[in-house]
Amino acid sequence: MEIIVHSSRSVKPNYGDRSDGGAVAASVEVVHLSVFDKISYDEYITGVCAFHPPAPPNHILEAGLATALAVYREWAGRLGMDGTGNRAIVLNDAGARYVEATADAELSSSVVLELTTGANLLSLYPPSCDGAKELLLAQVTRFRCGSIIVGVSVHHRVADGHAIWAFLFAWGQATRGVRIDDSIPVQQRHDRLSLFAPRDPPQVKFDHRGNEFKPHVGDASGGNGAAHAGDEVVIHRVHFSKEWIMELKSQSQAAASEGAAATARPYTTTLQCVAAHLWRCITAARGLDGNQTTRMRIAVNGRSRMKDPRVPVGYTGNAVLWAWPTTTARELGRQHIRETVELISREVARIDDAYFRSFIDFAGSGAVEKEQLVPTADSLELTLSPNVEVDSLLGIPFYDMDFGGARPFFFVPGYSTVPVDGFIYVLQSFEGDGSVDAYVPLFSTTIEAFKRCCYSLQPTAS
């Protein structure tokens, strides 16, 4: 399938007839990055949505983008420095990148499935690793059948998945001619410092070294990538049906050992069950030594956990930390799935309001600078082995995005040009029947063993 780019241009915010439009356009504000922004991955994250016809023409999509940028100005800005030399978002309305392309193919189901993990996926959104200055890059690719794929690359230091979704939803509203809710005060949208200000005196009640921060070790990034030199990372899509998920949950609530009385857990989330299963299966497929420590890094959204103050509705930045369930490869392999789920559940529950506030205090205490600590979210890592990371998109309604034709029938989270071994995305299946898809990148020498066990409730590498 050949994809031809026809145009690439900058789209600036369109303030229309807003009474304050001229003043806003003339102003250059600086949005200071919060402690959550600073520990997020310093890279672009991507995704593609596929839409059946009828699809709006390109100039309507472009106009909608310009209108949405007038409300969400950060996506038309640039990363720069504030007055103290710290990294910040400069709201200079420099613009987002908008690319128009065509594909010489019909967007059939087989083509869509090929795009989920194939090299063609990289051609469906603008490249962002070659010195791009824009914080948002979007590409609209039209197929012979009239279908379109909208691919976006956005900088993770600006926002997390929930905030990115809010902007994409607003772009759809503007394209349809629906007014975007701009009633949220600008201060509430952009004041990232006072919202997450450390307490005086600081109350650091948890250890944040090794979780959010790690020692700076020069050019040693890359994990265990050297051990896999020449080995390609392959992305495998695993589809878990609704029935399979129900069986997995049932197993997760069963007794931990044969003959013990079955006791139901209060509630088992789909994410925790799927994450536990994938962690066990990947660890088995990797053939790790039994004494090897293995950790799961799983994102925890602070929007529902921070209480005083709460994260306001419409907040446009990052508000995520991570839980780190930890065990050994041997224990993970021999314990009941319920025990793995309980381990994950306990660690996620531990990341509560007190933990978030402790992190804010630690990040603002001066210890990070004094000890030369850096974020554990390392964009240079090639492999997470012996660990895994799970990012959940289950709670983000990507399939509600609407540009005025039809809602998307497919969404694929994108990876960089070099996917990271062990970095998993979990999201709702496009089938809309309660099934779940997981995108699992692993080294090619591991992927076949993973395929043999990914649908088994007792994963082994054999």
Q: Are strands 96-103 and 136-143 parallel, antiparallel or unpaired?
A: parallel
Structure tokens at 362: 């630690």
Summarize pLDDT for 326-344 with one digit per residue, the tens.
Answer: 999 999 999 999 999 999 9
CB within 8 Å of 79: residues ≥ 6 apart:
87, 88, 89, 90, 135, 155, 157, 158
In this prediction, residue 23 carries a pLDDT of: 57
CATH superfamily of 213-394+416-453: Chloramphenicol acetyltransferase-like domain (3.30.559.10)
pTM for this entry: 0.91
In this prediction, residue 443 carries a pLDDT of: 96
What is the residue whose two structure tokens read 């090929």?
114
Domain boundaries, given as residue ranges, for the chain: 3-195, 213-394+416-453
pLDDT at 223 over 70: no
**3-195 shares its CATH topology with 213-394+416-453:** yes
DSSP conformational letter for 337: H
Please give the average per-residue pLDDT across 302-313, as a whole number: 91
Q: For the chain, state the CA radius of gyration.
A: 22
Which of the pair, 411 or 157, is modelled with greater confidence? 157
CATH 3.20.20.150 fits 3-195, yes or no: no
In this prediction, residue 260 carries a pLDDT of: 44
* Least confident interval from 79-83, 391-395, 412-416: 412-416
**127 confidence band (pLDDT: 50, 70, 90):** confident
* Least confident interval from 18-22, 151-155, 273-277: 18-22
pLDDT at 69 over 50: yes
Give the whole-number percent of the chain exceeding pLDDT 90.
68
Name the amino acid, one letter, at 243: E
**423 confidence band (pLDDT: 50, 70, 90):** very high
In this prediction, residue 293 carries a pLDDT of: 98
Are 1 and 105 contacting, i.e. CB atoms less than 8 angstroms apart?
yes
Q: Which residues are catalytic?
A: 156, 402
